[in-house]
Structure 1
Amino acid sequence: MRAIDYFDRGHDLDPERPCLIDAEHGETLSFAAVRAQTIKVAAALHAAGFRNQQPIALYGPNSATMMVALLAIWRANGQWVPVNTRNAIDANAAYLDYVRCGWLFYHSSQAEDVAALKARVPSLTHFVCLDRAYDGDPSLDQFIANSELDSLPDFSDPFGKPDDVVGLFPTGGTTGPSKGVVVTNLGWGTMIETLAHAVDGRTASPVSLVVAPITHAAGPVALATLSLGATQVILPGFEAAAVLDTIARHRVTHVYMPPTALYNLLDAPERVGSDTSSLKIFLLVGSPVSPEKLRQAVEIFGPCLCQAYGQVESPMIVTWLSPEAVAAAAAGDRPERLASCGQPTRSVRVGIMDDDGNLLPDGEAGELVVRGALVSREYYDMPEATAEIRAHGWHHTGDVARRDTDGYLYIVDRKKDMVVSGGFNVFSAEVEAAVTELAAVRECAVIGIPHAKWGEAVHAIVVADDIGETEIIAHAKARLGGVKAPKSVAFVPAIPRTSAGKMDKKALRAAYWSGARMVN
């Protein structure tokens, strides 16, 4: 099906059910009202010269209007271009220019950035300011004022247009400019259906909290729960006290967050006494989760914690670690599974591959490779890069993993982040998990730094209170042995992160490898 068909499926379950609740502005829209708005916006787009399958970007904070605009892009059969407002303006301009984006919906709070984009991106010729008329651009209300609903064509067919493009999604860009991942209705629908199946059936009245950026993973999570008829409660951004209050006030049943937000909730003083008993699904996606922090989270929030693994090129739910598996592991039944990203979902085949293209047996570490409809079509206008990640007939994730005899997968590192010390491969995720077992350690990033004898030495960068280097190294050595344990520890107030919220290990390594040749 097309992306908008999943929203319409949720609408048809109960058109009068609350669909979007904008917690900041006190606005509530029913499924019927949202559907009507998306039809008006889509018709207005085509009346204003929008071409079928043209790229459209969204630029602004979370809001009900932002979600309506996203759904309207899909109803108009546009290609969604997510833009992260936390990126440097140069990076966003370069990406919009690269994908030849012609339309931009934005919020007036981003007016300074939009002015820069107007000057730097020649393909951008149409602008709509979502909240008010600004600088000659119409507000959304003005844009749809003369919308002729009869002018909206039917863009589907009996097969749901599987090859039409739903979005041009940027990669993280940690190793250079972002590449555009071409995601079709087939891949997007596979993701939505797989995720919806995983989180469905746990409540008759689902309420989903949207607090991570809609322009990142929160957008697809919202669409998956919308297809189940879930009400979306939208916060403009993450603030621990507001999140806890919103969960209690609206009886939230489903929430997605990256692990860093979970850690902030665990440390928040407002957590004590907060009512989070309504939670059925607390989904963690985006980066590996500290097993110890995951165990603590189950104690606090109950048996609702779960985890999925994916990437932009094979989005969201390549693997699934269910709430039941997490709760059992937290209780002591196969506790090692707290470090797992789960088992492959029904939508893909997953293998572990060596550098020569050979699939490896259980227990051996290699690159995690994927096959199936979930895999994206290609990188936009980059045939060489596409061919490189499809070597040996599989999609290559760039993540190093191993599989146990029960089919559970464990991500142990990014290939480029693996530390090679004295000829031994040291996987940073394993060391980070050991270090964060210490109650005083809030976060840990492990990298390799130059060493005259070993090539690289294992180095831990931690955010911690009232603990010293000697204690951290001794604990890791007892857990992992001398080769894998950090040889040095640096204490920082915060670990730098990419605009997507991942640990920025490239930036961390740069401070140590300046003027030297990186081993990785």
Structure 2
Amino acid sequence: MDVRGLMAQAATLNARRTAVIHGDRRLTFEEAWRRGIQLANALLALELHPGDRVGVLEDNSIEAQDFFAGATIAGLVRVPLYARNSAEAHTHMLAHTGCRAVVVAEQYAHEIDAIRSDLPGVEHVVVRGRHDGLDYEEWLASYSDVDPQVPIDPDDWYIIRHTGGTTGKPKGVAYTHRSWLAAGRDWFYNFPPMVAGERCLHVGPISHGSGYLYTPTWLSGGCNVLLDHFEPSDTIGVMEREQVGYMFAVPAMLNALAREETACNRDWSALKVIQIGGAPIADETALLARDVFGMVLYQGFGQTEALPVCMMGPEEWFSDVEGSEPLRSTGRALPFAYLQIRDPENPSIECPIGQQGEIAIKCDGQMLEFWENPEATAERITTDGFVLTGDIGRLDENGYLYVLDRKDDMIISGGFNIWPAELENVIADHPGVVEVAVFAVPDEKWGETPMAVCAVADGVAVDDAAVADEIRTLCASRLGSYKKPTHVELWAEALPKSPVGKIQRKILREPHWVGFDRRVAGT
């Protein structure tokens, strides 16, 4: 089976039902699929061929649905860019995947214009709103609505999503049609069945975690409701007004929604599932959200490279189980996924129940490779096909998984992956910095946030606020605002090092985690 064939079938069987909502705009399945066909023909008219990679930079919108469907119909491989990323990240994602074209929302066109000269392989930039002298709707309507009937094999590439890397370069995680469908199927495995016409809200970009719920909703005859920004009171209003049944939220979003002043007085009778993922969640947030929204919270675990592997519903999440703490766990393994704890020093060895080690996953929705990166692929996929997550955890006697730490110190802030090395590389360029270490510290709003400790050059005062501000600004301009360190501490002395001269992040980090029983935090 392939995504295109199943989406086409759902469009036929649900032709008159509402498929997508964005603000006041509503499209039926018939309308949405026709627009997708027209965009597919528009892209193929650029002499793009099935299997070619096409980047896209956009917010959630009707036009985002056009591209979601159009790239699928044309057999093109989507490469989502992230609106909050830096120009350097955009350039890398487009270049290393060999994108021949980019589709960009007009509000972000300047970002692609600024890097176009660095992308000789990009032959076409389609700007919504000013392409070929036409506005987007006129341009789209000028193309045929006859399905091009592009042949697709289930093992053809479907999408390349990007994740962070310890070197600071995002890695492309490649999914086939088969693995993308498997990931969506397993996301919904423990959910109450979706009935045709029910609505799934996408608060975050469908290029991120929420996108895993998009395809299963379409295939079920459900309606995808799109928001192009997150503001708690607006989101609460849409959830009630549109009678949302399903949604995905990172813990920081859930915390804001549960604390919105009108949330307790709303009608949540249609709400079935709020899927939580992307970052650890604090007990207080989970319990508060349960009290506000009811028994609708689902906790899952996985990562872009392999997902999902764990899932549990509210009855289990908030239960008392002898020998376990479900509230502190990420759930138990799904029926069709392998979950093991491996020896961090020898990944071929499986650890016994109760012992800490590196979490390893094997499931139908896992990546086949890092795109054009065989070395990184070999580091992360074992000889027996397991994906090493980089997370340290343990399994208890009842099968609950507890995430305890990160093998390589990745920071998850508000659902976004931030790698210390990428900040350190930027901060080291500041003329007043001699050496630097970046690590996660707890944060009430974001769960955790980056902190930078910098040994400074002679003549730089350790209480110089201007230098600290310059460091934050440097990171924001080079990497994006969400990656800048919230805290910057300047030292006159050298940073602590191991016997072989490696800066010891964990020694610097530990004082900030006193009172916490694990070295990851949630909101």
TM-score, length of structure 1 as denominator length = 0.78
Query: Aligned equivalents of 1:498 and 1:273: distance in 2?
Result: 42
Query: Aligned equivalents of 2:290 and 2:406: distance in 1?
Result: 27
1:463 to 418, 428, 444: 444
Aligned to 2:520: none
Superposed displacement of residue 269, structure 1:
2.1
SS at match of 2:55: strand
Computed over aligned residues only, the root mean square deviation of the Cα atoms, in angstroms, reads 3.3
Q: Kindly tell me: are residues 324 and 229 of structure 1, through their superposed partners in 2, closer, same or farther at Cα, counting changes over 3 Å? A: farther
SS at match of 2:190: helix
Q: Which amino acid in structure 2 is aligned with residue 350 of structure 1?
A: L
SS at match of 2:265: coil
Q: After the TM superposition, which of the residue ranges 201-210 and 317-326 deviates more from structure 2?
A: 201-210
**What runs of 5+ residues in structure 1 fail to find an aligned partner?**
419-427, 433-444, 448-455, 465-493
Query: Aligned equivalents of 1:20 and 1:91: distance in 2?
Result: 30
Please list the CA deviations of residues 262-285 of structure 1 after superposition, one character each: whole Å capped at 9, or x if unmatched: 111122223242333321000111
Query: Aligned equivalents of 1:150 and 1:165: distance in 2?
Result: 24
**What runs of 5+ residues in structure 2 fail to find an aligned partner?**
421-436, 446-471, 498-502, 506-523
Matched ranges for 1:431-450 at <5 A: none
Query: Aligned equivalents of 2:406 and 2:478: distance in 1?
Result: 18
Aligned to 1:274: 266
Q: Kindly tell me: are residues 397 and 33 of structure 1, through their superposed partners in 2, closer, same or farther at Cα, counting changes over 3 Å? A: same
Superposed displacement of residue 501, structure 1:
12
On the 8 A contact 2:183/2:366 being kept in 1, the answer is: no
Aligned to 1:133: 130
Matched ranges for 1:44-443 at <5 A: 44-130=42-128, 132-133=129-130, 139-149=135-145, 152-156=148-152, 161-173=153-165, 175-201=167-193, 203=195, 205-315=197-307, 317-328=308-319, 336-354=325-343, 355-356=345-346, 357-393=348-384, 394-417=386-409
Query: Aligned equivalents of 1:177 and 1:231: distance in 2?
Result: 36
On the 8 A contact 2:341/2:393 being kept in 1, the answer is: yes
Superposed displacement of residue 92, structure 1:
0.9
On the 8 A contact 1:196/1:228 being kept in 2, the answer is: no
Aligned to 1:2: 2
Q: Kindly tell me: are residues 266 and 70 of structure 1, through their superposed partners in 2, closer, same or farther at Cα, counting changes over 3 Å? A: same
On the 8 A contact 1:128/1:140 being kept in 2, the answer is: no
Q: After the TM superposition, which of the residue ranges 9-18 and 94-103 deviates more from structure 2?
A: 9-18
Aligned to 2:426: none
Please list the CA deviations of residues 84-129 of structure 1 after superposition, one character each: whole Å capped at 9, or x if unmatched: 0100112111221111111111111112212113232222221222
Aligned to 2:32: 34
SS at match of 1:358: strand
On the 8 A contact 1:252/1:279 being kept in 2, the answer is: yes
Query: Aligned equivalents of 1:169 and 1:78: distance in 2?
Result: 14
On the 8 A contact 2:317/2:331 being kept in 1, the answer is: no
Q: Kindly tell me: are residues 373 and 138 of structure 1, through their superposed partners in 2, closer, same or farther at Cα, counting changes over 3 Å? A: farther
Query: Aligned equivalents of 1:334 and 1:32: distance in 2?
Result: 52
SS at match of 1:391: coil
Q: Kindly tell me: are residues 350 and 62 of structure 1, through their superposed partners in 2, closer, same or farther at Cα, counting changes over 3 Å? A: same
Superposed displacement of residue 347, structure 1:
3.1
On the 8 A contact 2:57/2:108 being kept in 1, the answer is: yes
Q: Which amino acid in structure 1 is aligned with residue 336 of structure 2?
A: S
Query: Aligned equivalents of 1:140 and 1:182: distance in 2?
Result: 30
SS at match of 2:295: coil
Q: Which amino acid in structure 1 is aligned with residue 223 of structure 2?
A: T
Superposed displacement of residue 314, structure 1:
0.9
Q: Which amino acid in structure 2 is aligned with residue 3 of structure 1?
A: V
Query: Aligned equivalents of 1:73 and 1:286: distance in 2?
Result: 26
Q: Kindly tell me: are residues 384 and 137 of structure 1, through their superposed partners in 2, closer, same or farther at Cα, counting changes over 3 Å? A: farther
Query: Aligned equivalents of 2:382 and 2:254: distance in 1?
Result: 36
Percent sequence identity over aligned pairs: 25
On the 8 A contact 1:291/1:338 being kept in 2, the answer is: yes
Q: Kindly tell me: are residues 66 and 226 of structure 1, through their superposed partners in 2, closer, same or farther at Cα, counting changes over 3 Å? A: same
Please list the CA deviations of residues 171-196 of structure 1 after superposition, one character each: whole Å capped at 9, or x if unmatched: 12464110111211221111122123
Q: Which amino acid in structure 1 is aligned with residue 150 of structure 2?
A: D
Query: Aligned equivalents of 2:480 and 2:248: distance in 1?
Result: 14
Q: Which amino acid in structure 2 is aligned with residue 165 of structure 1?
A: W
Q: Which amino acid in structure 2 is aligned with residue 5 of structure 1?
A: G
Aligned to 1:484: none
Superposed displacement of residue 216, structure 1:
0.9
Q: Which amino acid in structure 1 is aligned with residue 15 of structure 2?
A: P
Superposed displacement of residue 58, structure 1:
1.4
Q: After the TM superposition, which of the residue ranges 264-273 and 56-65 deviates more from structure 2?
A: 264-273
Query: Aligned equivalents of 1:322 and 1:167: distance in 2?
Result: 29
On the 8 A contact 1:363/1:402 being kept in 2, the answer is: yes
On the 8 A contact 1:6/1:224 being kept in 2, the answer is: no
Query: Aligned equivalents of 2:482 and 2:389: distance in 1?
Result: 17
Query: Aligned equivalents of 2:137 and 2:312: distance in 1?
Result: 43
Q: Which amino acid in structure 2 is aligned with residue 42 of structure 1?
A: A
Query: Aligned equivalents of 2:298 and 2:42: distance in 1?
Result: 41
TM-score, length of structure 2 as denominator length = 0.77
Query: Aligned equivalents of 1:283 and 1:254: distance in 2?
Result: 8
Please list the CA deviations of residues 36-90 of structure 1 after superposition, one character each: whole Å capped at 9, or x if unmatched: 1111111222222111111111111111111221121111111110100100112
SS at match of 1:378: coil
Superposed displacement of residue 253, structure 1:
0.6
Is 2:504 the partner of 1:519? yes
Q: Kindly tell me: are residues 361 and 335 of structure 1, through their superposed partners in 2, closer, same or farther at Cα, counting changes over 3 Å? A: closer
Query: Aligned equivalents of 2:119 and 2:81: distance in 1?
Result: 14
